[in-house]
């Protein structure tokens, strides 16, 4: 047993050292900087935090990021489940799964090009709607700037779902297929219908997958920034101005003090959120 523990420690050591060097230590430096001035490094107390909580850009970015997350994650989890459930009944769903995963394989630059072609004022969507209007005679030329108007959040959400649904489907499928078939068979013998099987057999058994999917979806939601930045720049329409935009702009303008304070706050919030989610899971 002692040898096993030593082996465990030895296995743990390299990754722990890596995390300590490349994550924990830099973060401690960020914590230190959050109490100091940006360039001179003089102690500033809580001034950076005070500035942060009165900064309208920060508050807007927090609001938008939370709103984006609150809209996207339930939609994604649900969409993934709705696709995964019928797929789980198919014996050979490999090709369909690949199709769903295809958006993830697309390079960001290509995705951005597609966005531009579809959502710009002279893009395909407006051309299609204009043609439809001409055919039906119900409306005239459509020249909506989707990325420069209130529709921008919808575009961002749709793009996030398009890109991440496949991955979520795969995760759901793994969970669903791991549910012992005997349980479902027994339930069916007892007269359970399709919906009852899902509600009373499958869903309770994929609780672990559900937790993983939510956490991964949450983390993936931060990656949408790349597309948003490449399409709409550092100062996009205010509904899609996210925390990452703010961090990027602060980095460019050398506002390291505010950025450090914001990073600490975000980290605390994330830690608290994940812990709360875990507790919620344990209760459920």
Partner 1 sequence: MNQYLFDENRKIARALAVLAALVVAVGLLGGCGYKPAESTGDTPKDNASVESTEAPGSDAQEDGEGSEPVAMGRYVETVVDISEYSGLSHGITLLEDGSLLIPDEKAGQIISKDGGETWETAPIPGIPSMADFVKEKYIFDMAAAPDGTVAVLATNHIKDGGDFEPCSIHVAGADGTIHTLESLTVSEDEKFLYGIDFSPEGELFATVVGNGTIYQVDVESGTLTKYLTMEWRPDLIKFQGDYMFFLTSDEGITIYDRKEKKWVEDSALETFMKENYLDSSYYVNETYTVYMEPGEEGVLYIAGKEGLFRHVIGGSAIEQVIDGALSSFSNPSMGLCGLATFGENEFAVSFGSKVSLFRYDPDVPTVPENLVTVYSLEEWDAVRQAIAQYQTEHPDTFVRYEVALTGTDGKSREDAIKKLNTELMAGKGPDVIILDELPAKSYVEKGILMDLKPHIDGLTGDAVLLPNIVDAFTENGSVYMMPVSFSLPMVGGRQEDVEGITDYASLADTVERLREENPEAGICDFFSGEATVRWFLPVAATAFSDASGNIKEELVRDYLADTQRIYKAANEGISDSLKDQYRNQKNYYTQSASERSYYYHHLGDVGNTAADFLVGDTLLAAGMLYTTYGYQQALSMSHTADLSDVVFRPFDGMSEGVFAPSMLVGLNASSAHQKEAEQFFDVIMGTEVQSLLYDGFMTNQSALEMQLSPQWKVMQNGGLDVDYGEVSSQMGGSFGDGREFHLDIFMPTKEEYQALYDRCCKVHTPYVADAVVEEAVITIGGEYLDGYWSLDEAMQKIMAKVQLYMAE
Residues in touch with partner 1 (CB under 8 A) = 1-2, 5-6, 8-9, 12-13, 16-17, 20-21, 24-26, 28-29, 32, 38-41, 55-57, 60, 121, 143, 145, 148, 233-235, 238, 241, 246, 248-256
Classified as helix, coil or strand, 1 is coil
Query: How close are the terminal C-alpha atoms of the chain, in Å?
Result: 35
Task: Quote the least distance from Cβ 20 to partner 1, whole Å.
Answer: 5
Q: Is 160 exposed, middle or buried (0-12, 13-18, 19+ CB in 10 A)?
A: buried
Residue nearer to partner 1 on the CB measure, 17 or 280? 17
Beta carbon of residue 138, minimum distance to partner 1 (angstroms, whole number): 22
Q: Which residues pair with 36 in a beta bridge?
A: 43
Measured from the CB atom, the residue of 40 and 92 that comes closer to partner 1 is: 40
Nearest distance from residue 252's CB to partner 1, in Å? Answer: 5
Distance CA 229, CA 216 (A): 21
The nearer residue to partner 1, 1 or 283, going by C-beta atoms, is 1
Q: In the complex, what is the shortest distance from the CB of residue 45 to partner 1, in angstroms, rounded to a whole number?
A: 19
Residue 164 CB, nearest approach to partner 1 (Å): 25
Give, in degrees to the nearest 5, the angle at Cα 238 between 216 and 146. 85
Exposed, middle or buried by CB within 10 Å (0-12, 13-18, 19+), for 10?
A: exposed
- Residue 105 bridge partners (DSSP): none
Report which of 182, 222, 211 is spatially closest to residue 72, judged by C-alpha positions: 222
99 vs 234 by CB, closer to partner 1: 234
In terms of CB distance, is 48 or 55 closer to partner 1? 55
């Amino acid at each position: 047993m002692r040898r096993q523990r030593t082996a465990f420690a030895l296995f743990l050591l390299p990754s722990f050292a890596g995390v300590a060097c490349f994550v924990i230590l830099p973060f401690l430096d960020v914590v230190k900087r959050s109490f100091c001035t940006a360039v001179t490094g003089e102690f500033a107390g809580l001034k950076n935090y005070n500035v942060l909580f009165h900064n309208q850009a920060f508050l807007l970015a927090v609001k938008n990021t939370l709103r984006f997350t609150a809209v996207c994650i339930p939609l994604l989890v649900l969409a993934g489940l709705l696709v995964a459930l019928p797929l789980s009944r198919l014996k050979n769903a490999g090709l369909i799964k690949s199709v769903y995963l295809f958006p993830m394989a697309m390079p960001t630059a290509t995705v951005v090009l597609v966005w531009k072609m579809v959502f710009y004022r002279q893009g395909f969507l407006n051309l299609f709607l204009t043609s439809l209007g001409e055919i039906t005679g119900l409306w005239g030329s459509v020249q909506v700037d989707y990325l420069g108007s209130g529709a921008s959040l919808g575009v961002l959400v749709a793009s996030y779902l398009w890109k991440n649904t496949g991955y979520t489907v795969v995760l759901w499928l793994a969970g669903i297929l791991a549910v012992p078939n005997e349980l479902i068979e027994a339930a069916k013998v007892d007269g359970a219908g399709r919906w009852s099987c899902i509600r009373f057999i499958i869903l309770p058994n994929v609780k672990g997958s559900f937790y993983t999917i939510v956490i991964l979806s949450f983390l993936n939601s931060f990656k949408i920034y790349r597309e948003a930045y490449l399409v709409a720049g550092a100062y996009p329409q205010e509904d899609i101005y996210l925390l990452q935009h703010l961090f990027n702009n602060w980095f460019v303008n050398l506002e390291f003090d505010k950025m450090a304070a914001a990073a600490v706050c975000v980290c605390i919030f994330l830690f608290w959120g994940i812990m709360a989610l875990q507790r919620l899971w344990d209760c459920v």
